[in-house]
């Protein structure tokens, strides 16, 4: 992904961006690519983002379809949304993210928890390794 972002022209969506730290950092590092940060809470979004290759929008992930055309994004970054999106909505949300991503694009989902919990056999395997 680094090479694609550095080459430029990539459209990146930051889902649940909050105050936009990730988007701002990435837009500074990859000035030839374009970043869109979305969050349901307009009060946390940066008012005057810099650099110029980043924008922030108030978008509710639960209000589908999302306001983007098919095949828009090369990279979709989803962070800390597991507790925000109800379990029964994940299929619809993921289908929608696939709709707006370009063919061959990437979706990266990151969940960072200080204390992992045992959610079943697969998680038990992971916990034994840590």
In the block, residue with structure tokens 């080459």: 7
Whether the CB-CB separation of 13 and 76 falls below 8 Å is answered with yes
Structural domain of 108: 2-129
The pTM score is 0.84
* Total number of domains constituting the chain: 1
Q: What is the CATH number of the domain that holds 59?
A: 3.40.50.150
Neighbours of 31 (CB within 10 A): 14
Rounded average pLDDT per 10-residue block, the chain, 130 residues = 92 96 96 97 86 95 97 95 89 96 94 64 57
- CA pair distance 93, 25, nearest whole angstrom: 26
Stated as kind and residue range, the H or E segment containing 7 is helix 2-7
């Amino acid at each position: 992904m680094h090479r694609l972002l550095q080459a430029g022209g990539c459209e990146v969506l930051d889902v649940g961006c909050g105050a936009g730290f990730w988007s701002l950092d990435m837009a500074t590092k990859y000035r030839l690519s374009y970043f869109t940060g979305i969050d349901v809470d307009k009060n946390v979004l940066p008012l005057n983002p810099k650099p110029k290759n980043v924008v922030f929008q108030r978008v509710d992930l639960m209000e589908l379809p999302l306001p983007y055309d098919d095949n828009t994004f090369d990279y979709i970054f989803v962070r800390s949304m597991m507790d925000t999106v109800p379990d029964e909505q994940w299929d619809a949300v993921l289908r929608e993210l696939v709709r707006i991503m370009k063919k061959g694009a990437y979706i990266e989902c990151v969940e960072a928890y200080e204390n992992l919990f045992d959610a079943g056999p697969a998680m038990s395997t992971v916990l034994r390794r840590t």
